Structure 1
Amino acid sequence: MRLHHVRPAAACLALVLALAACGGKDEAAQKGQGKAGQPGQGTPQVGFVVVQPTSAALVTELAGRTTAFERSDVRPQVTGLIRRRFFTEGALVRRGQPLYEIDPRLYRAAANEAQANLASARANQEATRILADRYRPLAEIEAISKQDYTNAVAQARQATASVGQTRAALETARINLKFTTVPAPITGRIGRSLFTVGALVSATQADPLAQIQRLDPMFVDIQQSADALLSLRRSLQQQGVSATTAQVRLKLPDGSDYGQTGTLEFSEALVDPTTGTTTLRARFPNPQGLLLPGMFVRASFAQAINDNAFLVPQQGVSRDPQGNATVILVGPGNKAVQRKVTADRTQGQYWVVTQGLKKGDRVIVQGLSKLRPGQGIKPVPAGTPQRVQAPPEGQGGDAQSKQKGG
C-alpha cells in the first residue's frame, strides 16, 4: 500500500520538472532570438560628414524704410498773388523748369525805378568828378581855397558811392522780379499743389507751394541695434573675420524680392537714445519707380566674412533643453560623442558653426533618432545605403506560424 502511494507522487514531481525545463528553454530561445532578430538592438550604423573650415558671410536681416534720394520744397521768395501754374501734379519736372508765376507788376516797377536811380547817380558822379578835376589846378595856384577843392573831391567820391548803392538796388530789384517765376529746385516727381491760382503767398510762410522728390536712385534707412553693432565690431577684431562691401537685397511689404541689389553707403556714428539703434543707409536703383518713399521693407546684407566657419547640415545640429546647439561626433573607438557648438544662424540648408568644431571632425547626420552619447556605432559616410538582413529561414516561418497559432 505504501508503494502505490509513493509512485504517483514521484511521477507528478517528474512531470513538473520536465515542464519547467521546457519553459526555461523556450524563454532562453526567445531571448536569443530577440537579440539576433529584432532590428536596432545591435551596433547601429550612422552616416557622417567630415567638416572643413570655409568662408561664410555674416548675413543680417533688418527692417528698413525707403527715403527719397533728393527732396526739396518749392517755396516762394517774394510776396504776391499766384497768377499761373505751369506743371501737372504728379509729373516729372526738371531743375529750373518754371512751376508758378507770381504777379510781377510791382517788382517790374521797382526794377525800373532802380534803373532810373542808377542813371541819375551816374550823372551826378560825372558832374562831381569834372568839378573836382577843374578845382585841382586852381587850388595849386591858390586861385581857390584848398577847402573848396577838398569839398569837391569828397562830393565826387560820394557820387561814386551812390552809383554803387543804386547799382546794388537795381540788382536786388531784378532778382525779386526774377523770383516772381518760381522754378523747380531739383529734378524729380512733383506732388500736389498746395496753393491754387489767386492765392496770396509770401516768402515767410510755413507751407511750401509743392514738394519734389527724386526717386531714382532710392535710399533705404536700416535700423540696427547697438548690441548687434558691438557684436559685429568684436567679431571683426577676431582672427579670421574680415569686413566686406555689403550688397543689400530687399523684401517688399508683400513679401516678394526686389529685383535690384543695392550698396551700403554709410553707418551713422551715433545711437538714437530713444530707440537704442543706429541708422545704416543703403542706395538702390529704382528705374521703374517701384520703391516709393515711406515704404517698410526688409533688408538683408553681409557685414563681414568668417573664414573659419563650418557648414553643418541642419539635420546634424540639435538643441538641448537650455537651447544650446549640440552635435554628435564619431569619437575614438567608434563611440558617439556629444559636443556643444555655436550655431547662431543658417545659410541655405546648413547651420553656420563658428565655435566647437575643428578641421576633420566627423559629424553624424544620419541615424540620430535613437543614438545616445557613448554608444558604440558603425560609422559610414553619409548617403551610404544601409543593409537590412532578412531573418534566417525557418525563424521567420516559425514566428509567423506561432503568431497564427497564438
Structure 2
Amino acid sequence: MTDPLPSSPASGPLPGPWRLPLLGLAVVALALGACSKQTPKAPGAAPEVAVLTLQAQSLALAQELPGRTVASQESEVRPQVSGVLQARLFEQGERVKAGQPLFQIEPALYQAAVNEAQANVRTAQATAVAARLRAQRMQQLGAGQLAAQQDVDDAVATHQQAAAAVQAAQAVLDTARTNLGFARVTAPISGRIGRALFTPGALVTNGQADPLARIQQVDPMNVDITQSSNEYLALRRAIADGGVEATRAPVQLKLSDGTAYPLAGTLEFADIDVDQETGSITLRAQFPNPQGQLLPGMYVRAQVGQGTRQQALLVPQAAVDRSPKGEALAWVVGADGRVHQRTFTTARAVGDQWLVLEGLRAGEQVVLSGRQGLSEGATVRIKPATAAAPAPAPAAAPAGEG
C-alpha cells in the first residue's frame, strides 16, 4: 500500500515517490512562461520593382485620319446634238477608253446638213472664181485707161466678197460635219462606265440635265482626308521649332473592314482653306488602283506620315496610371533608390506606348512592374527590365494631354 499524499507542505518534506512528477510540472510552467513573452520582428525587405530607363530616340510620326475615296476623274456623258438614240455601243460596267464610241444618235438630218453645206461651198467657190477673173480683167483695162477706176474698184470688191462667201460656206460645212460627228457620242475620258440611263429609241436633246451615262477614272484613286486645323497647326509649329523634321512618307490605307490596302499612296496637297463648319483641312492622297479594289465613295482610314520627332521619349502604357482628373502618372526611381510618383503629359499613343510631351526626362527610371503597394519616398530594390525597342511609326491616334 502506497503512502497517502500529505494534506499540506507544512507537514514536512514530500515523500520520494512524489518529487519527480512535481519537478516536471515546474519545467513545463517555465517553458510556457517563456513562450508567452513577445519577441520583436525583423524589419521587412524593400519591395523589388522592374524599371525601364527612358532613352531618347528618333521617331517617325504617323496619324490615322478618316477619308473618302474619290475618282481621280469623273465625266457625265451628255448629248451635244438632239435626236433619237439609235444604238448603245458599249458594255455597261466595263472600262472604256477616251474617244471610244458609246451611243449613236440618228444621223440622217445631220448628214443632210453636211451635204447641203458642201453644195453651198461649191457654189460659193464657183462665184469666187468668176469674180476673181472679172477683177483681173478690169484691172488690166484700168491700167490701159480703157475702164473707169470706179468699175475697177467694184470688180475687186466683188471678188473679195465672193472669197469671203467661200469662207462662210466652209464654216457652215465645218459646223455641219461637227454636228454629224456629235451624233456618235464618244467617251471624253478613260475609265469605268456605269449603266446607261437612256435606251435606244429615246429622244435626247442637246444640253439636257440627265446624262446618258457616267464615267469614272478609278486608277489612280484619290482619297480626301480630313485633319483638324489644330493638329495641322501643331505640326507646323513643331516643324518650325525643329522638334519635327518634315518628310514625304508614303500614305498607308486601311479599308472599312479593317484590312490593309496593299499599295502605298502619296500625299498630293493640302487644301488652301479651313472648312468653316467642321474646322478641318482636307488633304488629298493618290493611290494606284490597278485591280479596281477601291471604289468611289468608300470610307477608309489613312495613316499619314507627319514627319520625324527627334529626342522622342516613349513610355509603355502598362507603366502608366491615371489620376482621378485623368492625368498620366508614373513611378520614377531616384538616384537614392526611392520612388516618387510623377505627373506628366502625353502627346499621342504610338502602338502600346505613350509619346511623352513633358514631365519625364531621358535617363530616368520608370517602374514597369511591382507598383502595387508602393508609397511616396519608399526604398525599392531595382530589377532591370528589357528595354523597349524604338517604335516603327505605327498609326498614332492623338491623345489628350494627361
AA partner of residue 167 (structure 1): Q
Matched residues in 2 for 1:246 and 1:212: separation? 32
Aligned length: 358
The answer to whether residue 358 in structure 2 is matched with residue 355 in structure 1 is: yes
Matched residues in 2 for 1:83 and 1:313: separation? 70
Deviations 1:323-360 (A, max 9, x none): 22222222131111232222232223322223223232
Corresponding residue number in structure 1 for 2:233:
230
> How do 1:330-369 residues align onto structure 2 when only pairs under 5 Å count?
330-369=333-372
Using the aligned pairs only, state the percent identity.
Answer: 47
AA partner of residue 346 (structure 2): A
Query: Quick check: 129-138 or 335-344, which moved more?
Result: 335-344
Corresponding residue number in structure 2 for 1:320:
323
Corresponding residue number in structure 1 for 2:133:
130
Deviations 1:162-191 (A, max 9, x none): 111111111111111111111111111110
More helix by share: 1
> How do 1:154-165 residues align onto structure 2 when only pairs under 5 Å count?
154-165=157-168
> How do 1:1-400 residues align onto structure 2 when only pairs under 5 Å count?
26=36, 28-29=38-39, 32-33=40-41, 35-36=42-43, 41-382=44-385
Matched residues in 1 for 2:181 and 2:175: separation? 10
Give the 3 Å change call, closer, same or farther, for CA 301–231 of structure 1 in structure 2.
same
Matched residues in 1 for 2:318 and 2:303: separation? 25
Matched residues in 1 for 2:362 and 2:231: separation? 28
Structure 1 residue 258 displacement after superposition: 2.1
AA partner of residue 129 (structure 2): E
Matched residues in 1 for 2:33 and 2:339: separation? 41
Is the CA contact 2:52–2:386 (under 8 Å) kept in the aligned structure 1?
no
Matched residues in 2 for 1:89 and 1:27: separation? 100
Structure 1 residue 27 displacement after superposition: 7.0
Matched residues in 1 for 2:223 and 2:36: separation? 78
Task: Find the residue that maps to 1:206 and give its secondary structure.
Answer: coil
Structure 1 residue 309 displacement after superposition: 0.6
Give the 3 Å change call, closer, same or farther, for CA 287–278 of structure 1 in structure 2.
same
Task: Find the residue that maps to 1:71 and give its secondary structure.
Answer: strand
Matched residues in 2 for 1:348 and 1:271: separation? 30
Matched residues in 1 for 2:163 and 2:372: separation? 102
Task: Find the residue that maps to 2:345 and give its secondary structure.
Answer: strand
4+ aligned runs moved over 3 Å, structure 1:
25-28
Task: Find the residue that maps to 1:280 and give its secondary structure.
Answer: strand
Matched residues in 2 for 1:148 and 1:120: separation? 24
Is the CA contact 1:47–1:383 (under 8 Å) kept in the aligned structure 2?
no
AA partner of residue 243 (structure 2): G
Deviations 1:123-177 (A, max 9, x none): 1111111111111122223222111111111001111111111111111111111
Matched residues in 2 for 1:355 and 1:22: separation? 62
Query: Quick check: 43-52 or 148-157, which moved more?
Result: 43-52
Matched residues in 2 for 1:363 and 1:253: separation? 38
Matched residues in 1 for 2:198 and 2:228: separation? 42
Return the TM-score normalized by structure 1.
0.83
Q: RMSD of the alignment, in Å?
A: 2.1
Matched residues in 2 for 1:383 and 1:147: separation? 110
Task: Find the residue that maps to 1:247 and give its secondary structure.
Answer: coil
Matched residues in 1 for 2:181 and 2:158: separation? 34
Return the TM-score normalized by structure 2.
0.84
Is the CA contact 2:56–2:362 (under 8 Å) kept in the aligned structure 1?
yes
Give the 3 Å change call, closer, same or farther, for CA 271–383 of structure 1 in structure 2.
closer
Deviations 1:234-256 (A, max 9, x none): 22222231112132222222222
Matched residues in 2 for 1:76 and 1:354: separation? 60
